Amino acid sequence: MRISLQWLSEYVDLPAPEELARRLTAVGLEVEAVERTGQGLDGVVAARILSSVKHPDAEKLSVTSVDRGDGRPLQVVCGARNYQVGDLVPLATVGTTLPGGTRISKAKLRGVESFGMLCSARELGLSEDASGLLILPPDAVPGTPIATALKLDDVLFEVNVTPNRPDALSHLGIAREVAAATGTPLKRPAAAPREGGPPAAEAVKVRIEAPEKCARYAARVVEGVTIGPSPLWLQRRLERCGIRAISNVVDVTNLVLLELGHPLHAFDLDKVAGAEIVVRAARPGERMTTLDGKERVLDPDDLVIADRDRSSALAGVMGGGDSEISAGTRRVLVESAWFQPATVRRTAKRHGLHTEASHRFERGADPGMVTAALDRCAALIAELAGGTVRPGVVDAQARPAPRTTVRLRWKRPGQLLGLEVAAGDIRRILGGLGFTERDSDGEGATWEVPSWRVDVTIEEDLVEELTRTLGYQVIPETLPRLALDTPAIAPRLEAQARTRVALEGHGFREVVSYAFVPPQDLEAFEPGVKPVALKNPISAELAVMRTSVVPSLLRTAAFNRRQGRDTSRLYELASAFWPRAGADRDPPAVERPVVAAVLTGRRSPLSWATTGEPSDFHDLKGAVESVLAALGVEAVFEQAGRAVAWLHPRAAALVRSSDGARLGALGEIHPRVALAFDLPRGVLACELDAAALLAASRLVPGYRPIPRLPAVLRDLAVVVDEPVAAAAVTALVREEPLVEEVTLFDVYRGAPLAGGRKSLALAIRYRASDRTLTDAEADAAHARIVERLTRAVGAQLRA
Shortest distance, CB of residue 489 to other proteins, whole angstroms? Answer: 8
User: Residue 21 or 255: which CB sits closer to other proteins?
Assistant: 21
User: Residue 300 or 671: which CB sits closer to other proteins?
Assistant: 300
Cα diameter, the chain: 133
Shortest distance, CB of residue 551 to other proteins, whole angstroms? Answer: 13
User: Residue 30 or 239: which CB sits closer to other proteins?
Assistant: 30
Q: Which 381-420 positions form the footprint of other proteins (CB under 8 A)? A: 415-419
Shortest distance, CB of residue 742 to other proteins, whole angstroms? Answer: 25
User: Residue 363 or 767: which CB sits closer to other proteins?
Assistant: 363
User: Residue 285 or 587: which CB sits closer to other proteins?
Assistant: 587
Shortest distance, CB of residue 351 to other proteins, whole angstroms? Answer: 15
Q: Which 456-485 positions form the footprint of other proteins (CB under 8 A)? A: 458, 460-461, 463-464, 467-468, 472-473, 475-485
- Residue 667 phi, psi dihedral angles, 5° rounding: 155, -165
- Cα atoms in the 13 Å half-sphere on the side-chain side of 545: 16
Long-range contacts, 606-612 (Cβ 8 Å, 24+): 606/567
Stretch of 146-154, 162-170, 283-291, 641-649 lying at the interface with other proteins (CB under 8 A) = 162-170
Stretch of 253-261, 324-332, 380-388, 570-578 lying at the interface with other proteins (CB under 8 A) = 570-578
User: Residue 55 or 346: which CB sits closer to other proteins?
Assistant: 346
User: Residue 531 or 682: which CB sits closer to other proteins?
Assistant: 531
Shortest distance, CB of residue 472 to other proteins, whole angstroms? Answer: 3
Binding map of other proteins across residues 490-519, x = CB under 8 A, - = no contact: x--x------x--xxxxxxxxxxxxxx---
User: Residue 300 or 505: which CB sits closer to other proteins?
Assistant: 505
Distance, CA of 144 to CA of 212 (rounded, Å): 56
User: How many positions of this chain bind other proteins (CB under 8 A)?
Assistant: 101
Report the relative pairing of strands 712-721 and 757-766 from DSSP bridges: antiparallel
User: Residue 312 or 556: which CB sits closer to other proteins?
Assistant: 556
Shortest distance, CB of residue 526 to other proteins, whole angstroms? Answer: 15
Report the relative pairing of strands 590-600 and 635-639 from DSSP bridges: unpaired
Q: Which 699-758 positions form the footprint of other proteins (CB under 8 A)? A: none
User: Residue 224 or 507: which CB sits closer to other proteins?
Assistant: 507
Distance, CA of 446 to CA of 10 (rounded, Å): 33
Q: Which 581-600 positions form the footprint of other proteins (CB under 8 A)? A: 581, 583, 585-589, 591
Q: Which amino acid is at 54?
A: K
- Does residue 629 belong to the site contacting other proteins (CB under 8 A)? no
Task: Report the DSSP beta bridge partners of residue 35.
Answer: 156
Shortest distance, CB of residue 371 to other proteins, whole angstroms? Answer: 25
Instruction: Extract the runs of DSSP E, i.e. beta strands, from 647-768.
Output: 647-657, 662-669, 684-689, 712-721, 739-748, 757-766
Instruction: Extract the runs of DSSP E, i.e. beta strands, from 601-754.
Output: 635-639, 647-657, 662-669, 684-689, 712-721, 739-748
Tell me which of 173, 316, 319, 341 binds other proteins, using CB under 8 A: 341
Q: Which 248-287 positions form the footprint of other proteins (CB under 8 A)? A: none
- Output the CA–CA distances (angstroms, integers) from residue 196 to 200, 275, 417, in the order listed: 10, 19, 56
User: Residue 481 or 771: which CB sits closer to other proteins?
Assistant: 481
Report the relative pairing of strands 331-339 and 318-319 from DSSP bridges: unpaired
Tell me which of 342, 629, 675, 709 binds other proteins, using CB under 8 A: 342
Shortest distance, CB of residue 303 to other proteins, whole angstroms? Answer: 13
User: Residue 135 or 416: which CB sits closer to other proteins?
Assistant: 416
Report the relative pairing of strands 205-208 and 276-281 from DSSP bridges: parallel
Among candidates 260, 451, 272, 493, which has minimal Cα distance to 366? 451
H or E element, residue 796: strand 796-797
H or E element, residue 405: strand 405-409
Quote the DSSP letter at residue 290.
B
- Does residue 577 belong to the site contacting other proteins (CB under 8 A)? yes
User: Residue 258 or 503: which CB sits closer to other proteins?
Assistant: 503
- Does residue 610 belong to the site contacting other proteins (CB under 8 A)? yes
Tell me which of 569, 670, 767, 782 binds other proteins, using CB under 8 A: 569
User: Residue 564 or 756: which CB sits closer to other proteins?
Assistant: 564
Shortest distance, CB of residue 529 to other proteins, whole angstroms? Answer: 11
Shortest distance, CB of residue 606 to other proteins, whole angstroms? Answer: 10
Shortest distance, CB of residue 256 to other proteins, whole angstroms? Answer: 22
Binding map of other proteins across residues 9-48, x = CB under 8 A, - = no contact: ----------------xxxx-x------------------
Shortest distance, CB of residue 131 to other proteins, whole angstroms? Answer: 39
Q: Which 413-432 positions form the footprint of other proteins (CB under 8 A)? A: 415-419
Residues contacting 1, CB < 8 A, separation 6+: 158, 159, 161, 168, 169, 170, 174
Q: How far is CA 390 from the centre of its chain?
A: 47
Distance, CA of 518 to CA of 513 (rounded, Å): 13
Q: Is the peptide bond before 649 cis (omega within 30 degrees of 0)?
A: no
Tell me which of 199, 527, 559, 566 binds other proteins, using CB under 8 A: 559
Distance, CA of 75 to CA of 435 (rounded, Å): 63
User: Residue 99 or 434: which CB sits closer to other proteins?
Assistant: 434
Q: Which 671-690 positions form the footprint of other proteins (CB under 8 A)? A: none
**SS in 3 state form for 119-182?**
CECCCCCCCCCCCCECCCCCCCCCCCEHHHHCCCCCEEEEEECCCCCHHHCCHHHHHHHHHHHH
- Does residue 300 belong to the site contacting other proteins (CB under 8 A)? no
Distance, CA of 519 to CA of 280 (rounded, Å): 45
Shortest distance, CB of residue 245 to other proteins, whole angstroms? Answer: 28
Shortest distance, CB of residue 506 to other proteins, whole angstroms? Answer: 6
Tell me which of 220, 363, 656, 767 binds other proteins, using CB under 8 A: 363
User: Residue 9 or 604: which CB sits closer to other proteins?
Assistant: 604
Quick count: other Cβ atoms within 10 Å of Cβ 546?
26
Binding map of other proteins across residues 192-211, x = CB under 8 A, - = no contact: --------------------
Binding map of other proteins across residues 518-557, x = CB under 8 A, - = no contact: ------------xxxxxxxxx---x-xx----------x-
- Cα atoms in the 13 Å half-sphere on the side-chain side of 723: 2
Contact 261, 360 (CB under 8 A): yes
Contact 208, 338 (CB under 8 A): no
Contact 28, 468 (CB under 8 A): yes
Q: Is the peptide bond before 752 cis (omega within 30 degrees of 0)?
A: yes
- Does residue 659 belong to the site contacting other proteins (CB under 8 A)? no
